[in-house]
């Protein structure tokens, strides 16, 4: 386990997120704004657009830290 010190890097504290950017980029590269913003009430999984979901994922760690520290 990594000891947490003030100079700790995010990738050291959360190693599972190190490859997340590349994984997501491969999935969304080339999508149009219309595709990124698509929502539908037909399926519950499509209530959120891809853009909204990615924004949520990107803010998850900072929000988690703010709530707990």
* Contacting residues for 59 by C-beta, under 8 A, at least 6 apart: none
CB environment 15-43: b (16+ within 10 A), e (fewer): eeeeeeeeeeeeeeeeeeeeeeeeeeeee
Output the pTM of the full model: 0.63
pLDDT tens-digit map of 36-63? 999 999 999 899 999 999 988 888 777 7
Model pLDDT, residue 38: 97
- The torsion region of residue 62 among left (phi > 0), alpha (psi -120 to 50) and beta comes to alpha
Give the Cα separation of 31 and 43 in Å (integer).
20
Model pLDDT, residue 11: 72
Model pLDDT, residue 12: 76
């Amino acid at each position: 386990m990594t000891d947490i010190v003030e100079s700790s890097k995010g990738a050291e504290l959360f190693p599972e997120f190190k490859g997340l950017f590349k994984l997501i980029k491969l999935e969304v590269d080339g999508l149009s704004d219309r595709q990124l913003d698509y929502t539908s009430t037909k399926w519950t999984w499509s209530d959120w657009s891809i853009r909204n979901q990615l924004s949520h994922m990107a803010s998850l760690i900072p929000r988690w830290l703010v709530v707990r520290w």
